[in-house]
Structure 1
Amino acid sequence: MRILVVEDELDLQEGIADGLRIDGYAVDTCDNGEDAYELLYEVDYDLVVLDLNLPKWDGLEVLAKIRDEKPELKVLILSARSSVHDKVKGLDIGANDYLAKPFDFAELEARIRNLLRRKFVQESRMLTCGAIHVDLSKRVAVVHDMEVSLTKKEFALLEYFLLNKDRVVSQEELIEHVWDQHADSFSGAIRVHIATLRKKLKAIINYDPIGTKIGEGYLLLDKGDDAHA
């Protein structure tokens, strides 16, 4: 999942971004409302963590533009404005959640997980396809009751495939949602990570669970049917 963190306190911005990257998310950052709007125009983010006290454009102004142009995008306001009036105003404009500073990072993680589950109409904390299971809360993958050791990027790929298991996912879409703004779309990184993920899963379930549609992308399989074309 790809997240934009908009925060002008650079130490806090860096701390949030580093923590979310450890969780396996692709994270972009910026420190003002104008740059945030430009990034939101260019990139299809899954969620935005948005401060309110921003230079150039205020966070509420950015939020209003998001709701006008990207009504489905999940927005979590993170702000020192902790009064009931400010919370109500932010939620009325269209924020999906509101977390006041100071905050516990574990609570921020939990709120992000909850919003992303809602984005994909996923009420359970478990994602499943055949013998493959992913626990979104514990951030672990299990196949045939065996926990699979995955890198953060491999886990992020598997999570995205499971959230979109009924359709083909293109390489461009994976770049948009699993990699951050520093990704090189021509580096072959996607193919390398998918190859290692395939190898780890296939070693347990004895078939390749990631099908390839040539010229289209990848899809997750729940049985060993041939999905290469």
Structure 2
Amino acid sequence: MPRALDDRDGFRRCRDCDEWKPLDEFCTNRRRPDGRGSYCKPCFNLRSKASYAKRLKEKHGREVRELPAVPDGHRRCPTCGETKELDNFPRNRSGRGGYGRYCKPCHNEKGKETRLRLYGGSREYHLRRRYGVGQKEFDELLAEQGGVCAICGSPDPQHLDHDHRTGWVRGILCFNCNGGLGQFKDSPESLARAITYLRGTTWQRVLIHPGVFQMCSPTRGRPRSQRS
């Protein structure tokens, strides 16, 4: 009797385990009219592993290495060979189960090796990836500024400033100046109001007689805060 006549509506009997199962539990096979093969997925996987082990033995004389069982909620890192909880693996949307293949320490180490191999180091990688320039362009721009911060003039600035709307590099600033622009969100209006505020509240030396100065402030005489 042809094998196809053994099939029931929506079910098929696996040739290996001889169990009746729904068709969606069988591997796909385009050569079959219904698009499903003769073996259920677990049996097909066993056959594939056995075939791989046979080819490996015949061609290379090696045995398939048996990996230890991994409990639920865990994953084995192929680099360090340790089985760890999923929280020890970085998030990866394209990875299996939403996690990366390597544990966090191995993932970080591989990232360092890649950055060193492709860019010569993390500094060059960071500049290229975020700003589109390298250490050479950074040094040239710093030399044009005289080796000092473009705002306060402090020596040896290390922060590359860029326009957040266009992405264009504007100059090299020290930590404080770069952070200050970020806190003011690169707004000229806010910075102008801050200057006006400082000029109106900061104590200043006022010449009241030739060679005689007096400290004064527009807020002089205002009562101090109760929390002061």
TM-score tier after normalising by the smaller chain length: under 0.3
If the length of structure 2 is used for normalisation, what is the TM-score?
0.23
Between 1 and 2, higher relative CO (CA 8 Å, sep ≥ 6) is seen in: 1
If the length of structure 1 is used for normalisation, what is the TM-score?
0.23
Structure whose alpha-carbon radius of gyration is higher: 2
